[in-house]
């Protein structure tokens, strides 16, 4: 028997996984996640990094960016930098709400329809999902706003409902695919019950694509909420939500470009941050 | 390899497929109508209250004195929900979307006035974005220079991170305010189309390119492209154009239908940026006025457009992809032995 | 006998992405390929034999590159050619038959278009008429009865063997001097693989082509090649004429490789029957009632009109304490049969009795109780183990699921099981990705044994493993059967495996059992044509 042990060990082990290749990506991912933490802190305590009140008329109207007003001032002399920083809270947290709604709704629908693909429930939910997909997200949100009234959080929930369809499709596909994995079937034939199979094998095997998709759609939700605010259905002025800021600055483009441009840059930067996180976490899964 | 006796001829199978897809499409439009109807007319609110709330015309003290019931019956909301729904559905079957609660004009007339504008904008943008998307995708995989490839593959993902309305505003600033080349607003003449079409077709191209790049990379990695074709003496260019581009278009086609819906949503926002007459303006005005029937009408029409495009895409898929056009000659279900 | 290809000091390395580290796949490989003959390159996975094939046609993956060496083709050092000049060699002077026939043809182009493309890419001087005639003749030569009908077909309408023969036709179409076939039969069933090798042989003889045959299968090498190159971990360990190397292997690795196959003796490959006779016959200990009884079982997939009968009236009996082998090629219904036994599929007709219980009639809880007594070992240990769990988590999964014993007891049992499958106890915290294929399969066996089952369903337990590893895993299974008094229900495509371990065998084809009996009877005196064909490979 000792003989067989040594023989078993002699079998060549596979080359070690290329750890170093992953390390670069993981480091970048960590830096970006740290940035997200900074953003959240700033969103909760905007006073930490600003020195003007976002609603006070501290400067002259349309002051160009300078040392005291890094992003300049708006049409009535409010500090644009302070307004952008304060606006982060609404933009960020309404996007969180949208993604939570989308993920929760999508997970329930996706898991229910993925458990018995082709079943009656799956077909019914499929038609429902497709019906919601057939309505462009912005229009669906507008329809919701028609009934519930305007506001960033109503807009966020509405956007979340629209995006839930994408999550539902993704999760359904993942659940179906996980069901065909040999090791999932092996667990079942070992006597593992359905709950055990789902939580020990299926969820860990699908959480990577779902997390990556969530990060991507977090950015898209911010864009959609910005669009709604821009159209006048999100936050109302004098809120500093970024869509509102851009809409407000549009009129003054000709002589004060920064009022509309800077909030747009901020929005883009945050969206790029999240889509980069999505990209990295997707590539990192093996 | 015996021919399967039950495999029907291509036209017969196609007809059956089309019939199934149409039935499914009708079910989806119906579901979209119903969902929106109940969202608008039931949950939990009351259109009249919402209307008061958003128009901001009346203070809360005056609210109590209003005869809400009278207001409701005035706009046709006093009937029971089900009878309203049945009324709506039968109207829908006849192609009648009801009348505006505000202007009393038929919804179809209102839509008929604005739809051509929006459709022109969407169709022209689409016509530009598909070739542009292919161009970007080819640039992202073909050139020898790694720098060119990574730059070309970065552009689409960067562009879709931009807020579309903000890009519109920047274009206005750059091309009409600063350079004065194109009008910044309005919906008359070809010149007014240039900027909105540019913004939208870039968005479409970026979205299409993202899909195409990943499917092209997959195709280039498969054995037939990576080994068989080069082993015959094919160069990179030949492999890409004669083999991969066509095969990579199939996943693209599958996504195309989905993206068209997003493009329509983008068109609504862009119409507002450029102050164009169109579906966007009508929608925004109706939402502000809580004109439920118009909102419902717009949603249904857009859902129908989306579904119709997807049916066409599905049929195109079957016609173009030989793997779907013909089933394997052998009807034996392969076991998962290998 | 002049060499057509002459390789000296060839070193190939793969660069890791985002990293400067390089893994050497070939380490100063030198060999020569005699003109007009077949040279087989043999080795197990990771030996670099495929890298060698791809390096010669310069089709390495994008992260692989040739670091040094010379590759001379007909006296010219082809490595001095630029990419564009080298491309002129492909197709015209070097043909290539890839490994996986399913992925190697463009799915959206007809077979005819892909054949003609070989001519246009090689700038063939033939007229279109002549091209068509030549394609027609070539297809007839590789065994297609009706070439005209074939040309209009798409790849998905062809079987794997047909696709591979199309690829052989493409490789030989420009009458190259050299054709490299990279594991041309490893993705195919044995009988189909034999047809493909026959096609290669026919084309080679007719056009006097030099062939390099990459293979892991010693029998294929000895039947088809005159010369052999043995590779191990990127290094050529031995070369020479086939008879000489097989009869008098000099390198220890070659000896180990040959010893792992029971079918090689005195420099030649024995038939399965001959190999069977050389083995000590294992006593059949059939005691008590049968463990598995199938009676006229049928299973259909799909609808009655369009579906197919995967299992068609199968009856079989597995006696306790023995190994019963169900043999068949892909699509024969053997896997479906095993799933019926496990209760993963319901039969449409007939009775399935396992350990005295009728499986289709069991309620969910009863089936779960029955599964404590029958466990499975799957084909691919790379897929059947959850890569995120440690070995301890994997092996104790059945114990956890049935809540057997305390934590400490389960831990002790895991150690016991690791001993049983001859793995060091220290491995319990490792993950499957840190183990080799053979070690992973041992883990899968340990998991299957955790509940002390009476019946093990072995679904192609060694077909994903290298030959030397296969032999050890089979040995382990035989030892365990003796120690633990197990009954095995073995699913396999390989009659050689059957001959090693099984007492009884049934041969399945297209859902039916065409022959069954004791292993010796079936292997030594087969009655069915199909069994005879399988044995003749």
Measured between alpha carbons, how far is residue C309 from residues C333, C346, C490 in Å?
Answer: 9, 13, 22
Contact of C483 with chain A, judged by CB distance below 8 Å, is answered with no
Q: What chains are in contact with B, requiring at least 3 Cβ pairs below 8 Å? A: A, C
Burial of B147 (0-12, 13-18, 19+ CB in 10 A): exposed
Average pLDDT over residues C274-287: 64
Q: Residue A79 has what DSSP assignment?
A: B
For C258, residues 6+ apart whose C-beta sits below 8 A from its C-beta are: C218, C246, C249, C264
Q: Note the pTM of the prediction, 2 decimals.
A: 0.80
Q: Indicate yes or no: CB of C436 within 8 angstroms of CB of A14.
A: yes
Q: Who wins on pLDDT, A237 or A84?
A: A84
pLDDT confidence band for A198 (50 / 70 / 90): confident
Q: Which CATH superfamily is domain C271-300+308-373+453-537 in?
A: P-loop containing nucleotide triphosphate hydrolases (3.40.50.300)
* pLDDT value of position A18: 45
- E strand or H helix at B321: none
Average pLDDT over residues A176-192: 84
**Do residues C26 and C51 make contact, with C-beta atoms less than 8 angstroms apart?**
yes
Distance in angstroms (rounded) separating the CA atoms of residues C414 and C412: 5
Dihedral of alpha carbons B47, B48, B51, B53, sign: negative
Measured between alpha carbons, how far is residue B202 from residues A231, B209, B266 in Å?
Answer: 21, 10, 11
Domain layout of chain C by residue ranges: 3-246, 271-300+308-373+453-537, 389-451
Domain layout of chain B by residue ranges: 108-289+317-327
* pLDDT value of position C136: 93
User: Which residue, chain included where needed, has tokens 């499917």?
Assistant: B215
Picking from B322, B329, B337, the nearest residue to C331 by CB comes out as: B337
* pLDDT value of position A231: 86
Picking from C54, C128, C63, C41, the residue whose alpha carbon sits closest to that of residue C90 is C54
* pLDDT value of position A143: 84
pLDDT in tens, A41-63: 888 888 777 777 877 777 777 77
* pLDDT value of position C159: 87
- E strand or H helix at C190: helix C190-207
Name the average pLDDT for chain A: 81
* pLDDT value of position C447: 93
Picking from C302, C329, C334, the nearest residue to B333 by CB comes out as: C302
Q: Who wins on pLDDT, A236 or C28?
A: C28
* pLDDT value of position C221: 87
Assign a CATH topology to domain B108-289+317-327: MetI-like fold (1.10.3720)
Residues of B in contact with A234 (CB under 8 A): none
Contact of C401 with chain A, judged by CB distance below 8 Å, is answered with yes
d(CA A14, nearest CA chain C) in Å = 6
Distance in angstroms (rounded) separating the CA atoms of residues C111 and C103: 14
Q: Indicate yes or no: CB of B287 within 8 angstroms of CB of A246.
A: no
Domains and CATH numbers, chain A: 82-284 (1.10.3720.10)
Residues of A in contact with B289 (CB under 8 A): none
Picking from C18, C383, C397, the nearest residue to A190 by CB comes out as: C397
Q: Which tokens in the block code for residue C405?
A: 């014993």
Average pLDDT over residues C93-110: 89
* pLDDT value of position A102: 94
Picking from B297, B307, B335, B311, the residue whose alpha carbon sits closest to that of residue B114 is B297
* pLDDT value of position A16: 41
Nearest residue in chain B measured CA to CA from A138? B265
Name the average pLDDT for chain C: 87
In this structure, what are the phi and psi dihedrals at residue C103, rounded to the nearest 5 degrees? -90, -5
Q: Who wins on pLDDT, A115 or C89?
A: C89
Work out the number of other CB atoms within 10 angstroms of the CB of residue C93: 18
Pairing between β-strand C504-509 and β-strand C512-518 as defined by DSSP bridges: antiparallel
Distance in angstroms (rounded) separating the CA atoms of residues C315 and C337: 10
Picking from A4, A11, A191, the nearest residue to C401 by CB comes out as: A191
**Do residues A166 and A103 make contact, with C-beta atoms less than 8 angstroms apart?**
no
Q: Give which of B165, B199, B274 to mutate to test A binding, by max A Cβ within 10 Å.
A: B165
Hey, which residues does C350 pair with through a beta bridge?
none
Q: Which tokens in the block code for residue C437?
A: 């294929």
How many percent of chain C have pLDDT more than 90? 30
In this structure, what are the phi and psi dihedrals at residue B228, rounded to the nearest 5 degrees? -60, -50
Instruction: Please give the span between the terminal C-alpha atoms of chain B, in angstroms, as a whole number.
Output: 19
Residues of C in contact with B225 (CB under 8 A): 106
Assign a CATH topology to domain C3-246: Rossmann fold (3.40.50)
Residues within 8 A of A (CB atoms), B 167-196 only: 169-170, 172-173, 177
Q: Give which of A178, A186, A205 to mutate to test C binding, by max C Cβ within 10 Å.
A: A186
* pLDDT value of position C230: 93
Contact of A212 with chain B, judged by CB distance below 8 Å, is answered with no
Q: Which tokens in the block code for residue A283?
A: 């590539």
Residues of A in contact with B306 (CB under 8 A): 133-136
Contact of C100 with chain B, judged by CB distance below 8 Å, is answered with yes
Residues within 8 A of B (CB atoms), A 65-84 only: none
pLDDT in tens, C343-365: 888 899 899 999 888 888 888 88
pLDDT in tens, C467-525: 778 888 888 998 898 888 899 999 998 887 888 788 889 999 888 999 988 888 888 88
User: What is the 3 state secondary structure string of C491-510?
Assistant: EECCHHHHHHHCCEEEEEEC
C142, C145, C147, C151: CA torsion to nearest 10: -100
Q: Indicate yes or no: CB of C170 within 8 angstroms of CB of B4.
A: no
Distance in angstroms (rounded) separating the CA atoms of residues B78 and B69: 7
* pLDDT value of position C412: 92
pLDDT confidence band for C284 (50 / 70 / 90): low
* pLDDT value of position B338: 26
Asked whether residue C24 carries a pLDDT value surpassing 90, the answer given is no
Distance in angstroms (rounded) separating the CA atoms of residues B118 and B124: 10
Per mean pLDDT, which range of A165-174, A271-280, B207-216, C463-472 is the poorest? C463-472
Cis before A238? omega within 30: yes
Average pLDDT over residues C219-242: 90
Per-residue burial over C456-488, b if 16 or more Cβ lie within 10 Å, else e, is bbbbbbbbbbbbbbbbbbbebbeebbeeeebbb
Contact of C109 with chain B, judged by CB distance below 8 Å, is answered with yes
- For chain B, residues with pLDDT lower than 50 are 1-7, 44, 54-62, 64, 328-338
Residues of B in contact with A139 (CB under 8 A): 265, 268, 283, 298-299, 302
**Do residues C371 and A188 make contact, with C-beta atoms less than 8 angstroms apart?**
no
Dihedral of alpha carbons B243, B244, B248, B249, sign: negative
Which strand ranges, in their side-by-side order, compose the sheet holding C22-34?
C22-34, C3-15, C64-73, C76-77
Residues within 8 A of B (CB atoms), C 174-203 only: 187
Q: Who wins on pLDDT, C325 or C537?
A: C325
* pLDDT value of position C96: 93
Dihedral of alpha carbons B222, B225, B231, B232, sign: positive
pLDDT in tens, A240-271: 888 888 888 888 877 888 888 888 888 999 99
**Do residues C501 and C467 make contact, with C-beta atoms less than 8 angstroms apart?**
no
């Amino acid at each position: 028997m000792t003989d067989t042990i040594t023989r078993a060990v002699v079998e060549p082990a596979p080359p070690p996984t290329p750890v170093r290749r992953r390390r670069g990506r993981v480091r970048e991912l960590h830096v970006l996640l740290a940035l997200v933490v900074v953003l959240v802190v700033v969103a909760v305590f905007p006073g930490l990094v600003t020195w003007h009140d976002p609603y006070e008329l501290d400067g002259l109207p349309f002051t160009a960016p300078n040392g005291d007003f890094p992003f300049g001032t708006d049409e009535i002399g409010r500090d644009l930098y302070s307004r952008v920083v304060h606006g982060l809270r609404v933009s960020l947290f309404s996007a969180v709400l949208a993604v939570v709604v989308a993920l929760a709704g999508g997970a329930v629908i996706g898991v229910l329809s993925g458990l018995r693909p082709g079943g009656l429930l799956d077909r019914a939910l499929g038609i429902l999902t497709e019906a919601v997909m057939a309505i462009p997200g912005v229009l669906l949100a507008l329809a919701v706003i028609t009934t519930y009234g305007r506001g960033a959080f109503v807009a966020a929930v509405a956007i979340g409902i629209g995006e839930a369809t994408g999550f539902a499709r993704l999760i359904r596909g993942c659940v179906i695919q996980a069901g065909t994995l040999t090791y999932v079937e092996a667990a079942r034939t070992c006597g593992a019950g359905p709950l055990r199979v789902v939580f020990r094998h299926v969820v860990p095997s699908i959480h990577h694509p779902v997390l990556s998709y969530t990060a991507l759609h977090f950015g898209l939700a911010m864009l959609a909420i910005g669009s709604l605010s821009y159209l006048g259905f999100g936050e109302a002025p004098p809120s500093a939500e970024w869509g509102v800021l851009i809409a407000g600055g549009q009129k003054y483009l000709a002589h004060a470009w920064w009022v509309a441009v800077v909030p747009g840059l901020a929005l883009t930067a945050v969206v790029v941050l999240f889509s980069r996180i999505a990209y990295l976490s997707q590539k990192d899964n093996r | 390899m015996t021919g399967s006796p039950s495999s029907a001829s291509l036209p017969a199978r196609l007809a059956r497929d089309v019939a199934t897809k149409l039935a499914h499409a009708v079910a989806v439009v119906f579901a979209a109508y119903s969902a929106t109807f109940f969202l608008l007319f039931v949950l939990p609110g009351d259109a009249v209250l919402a209307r008061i709330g958003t128009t901001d015309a009346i203070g809360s003290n005056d609210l109590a004195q209003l005869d809400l019931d009278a207001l409701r019956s005035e706009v046709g909301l006093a009937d029971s929900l089900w009878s309203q729904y049945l009324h709506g559905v039968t109207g829908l079957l006849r192609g009648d979307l009801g009348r505006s609660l505000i202007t009393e004009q038929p919804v179809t007339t209102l839509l008929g006035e604005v739809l051509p504008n929006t459709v022109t904008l969407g169709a022209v943008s689409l016509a530009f974005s598909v070739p542009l998307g292919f161009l970007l995708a080819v640039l992202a995989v073909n050139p020898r220079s790694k720098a060119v490839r990574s730059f070309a593959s970065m552009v689409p993902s960067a562009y879709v991170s931009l807020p579309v309305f903000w890009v519109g505003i920047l274009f206005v600033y750059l091309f009409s305010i600063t350079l004065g080349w194109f009008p910044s607003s309005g919906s008359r003449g070809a010149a007014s189309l240039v900027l909105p079409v540019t913004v939208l077709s870039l968005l479409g191209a970026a979205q299409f390119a993202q899909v195409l790049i990943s499917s092209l990379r997959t195709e280039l990695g498969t054995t037939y492209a990576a080994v068989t074709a080069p082993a015959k003496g094919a160069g990179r260019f030949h492999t890409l154009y004669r083999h991969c581009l066509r095969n990579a278009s199939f996943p693209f086609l599958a996504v195309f239908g989905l993206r068209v819906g997003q493009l329509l949503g983008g068109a609504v926002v862009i119409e507002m940026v450029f102050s164009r007459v169109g579906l966007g303006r009508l929608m925004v005005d109706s939402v502000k006025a809580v004109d439920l029937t118009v909102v419902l009408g717009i949603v249904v029409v857009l859902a129908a457009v989306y579904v119709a495009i997807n049916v066409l895409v599905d049929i195109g898929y079957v016609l173009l992809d030989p793997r779907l056009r013909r089933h394997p000659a052998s009807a034996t279900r392969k076991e998962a032995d290998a | 006998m002049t060499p057509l290809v002459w390789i000296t000091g060839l070193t190939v390395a793969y660069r890791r992405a985002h990293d400067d580290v390089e893994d050497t796949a070939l380490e100063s490989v030198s060999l020569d390929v005699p003109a007009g003959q077949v040279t087989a390159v043999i080795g197990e996975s990771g030996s670099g034999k495929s890298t060698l094939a791809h390096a010669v046609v310069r089709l390495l993956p994008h992260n692989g590159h040739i670091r040094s060496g010379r590759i001379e083709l007909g006296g010219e050092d082809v490595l001095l050619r630029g990419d564009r000049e080298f491309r002129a060699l492909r197709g015209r002077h070097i043909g290539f038959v890839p490994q996986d026939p399913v992925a190697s043809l463009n799915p959206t182009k007809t077979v005819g278009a892909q054949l003609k493309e070989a001519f246009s890419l090689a700038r063939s001087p033939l007229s279109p008429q002549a091209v068509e005639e030549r394609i027609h003749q070539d297809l007839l030569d590789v065994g297609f009865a009706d070439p005209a009908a074939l040309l209009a077909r798409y790849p998905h309408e062809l079987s794997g063997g047909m696709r591979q023969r199309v690829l052989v036709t493409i490789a030989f179409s420009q009458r190259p001097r050299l054709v490299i076939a990279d594991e041309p039969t490893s993705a195919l069933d044995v009988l189909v693989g034999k047809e493909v090798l026959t096609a290669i042989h026919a084309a080679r003889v007719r056009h006097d082509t030099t062939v390099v045959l990459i293979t892991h299968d010693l029998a294929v090498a000895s039947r088809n090649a005159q010369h052999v190159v043995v590779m191990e971990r990127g290094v050529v360990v031995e070369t020479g004429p086939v008879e000489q190397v097989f009869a008098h292997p000099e390198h220890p690795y070659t000896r180990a490789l040959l010893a792992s196959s029971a079918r090689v003796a005195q420099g030649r490959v024995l038939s399965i029957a001959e190999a069977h006779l050389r083995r000590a016959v294992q006593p059949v200990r059939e005691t008590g009632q049968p463990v598995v009884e199938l009676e006229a079982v049928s299973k259909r997939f799909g609808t009655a009109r369009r579906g197919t009968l995967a299992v068609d009236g199968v009856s079989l009996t597995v006696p306790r304490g023995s190994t019963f082998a169900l043999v068949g090629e892909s699509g024969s219904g053997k896997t479906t049969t095993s799933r019926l036994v496990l209760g993963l599929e319901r039969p449409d007709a007939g009775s399935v009795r396992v350990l005295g219980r009728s499986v289709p009639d069991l309620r969910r809880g009863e089936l779960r109780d029955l599964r404590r007594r029958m466990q499975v070992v799957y084909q691919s240990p790379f897929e059947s183990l959850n890569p995120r769990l440690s070995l301890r988590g994997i092996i104790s999964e059945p114990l956890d699921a049935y809540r057997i014993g305390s934590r400490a007891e389960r831990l002790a049992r895991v150690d016991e099981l690791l001993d049983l499958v001859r793995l060091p106890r220290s491995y319990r915290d490792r993950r499957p990705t840190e183990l080799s294929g053979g070690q992973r399969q041992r883990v899968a066996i340990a998991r299957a044994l955790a509940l002390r089952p009476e019946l093990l369903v072995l679904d192609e337990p060694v077909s994903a493993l290298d030959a030397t590893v296969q032999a050890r895993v089979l040995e382990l299974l035989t030892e365990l059967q003796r120690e633990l008094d197990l009954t095995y229900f073995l699913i396999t495509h390989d009659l050689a495996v059957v001959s090693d371990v099984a007492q009884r065998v049934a041969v399945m084809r297209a859902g039916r059992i065409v022959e069954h009996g004791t292993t010796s009877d079936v292997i030594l005196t087969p009655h069915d044509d199909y069994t005879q064909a399988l044995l003749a490979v």
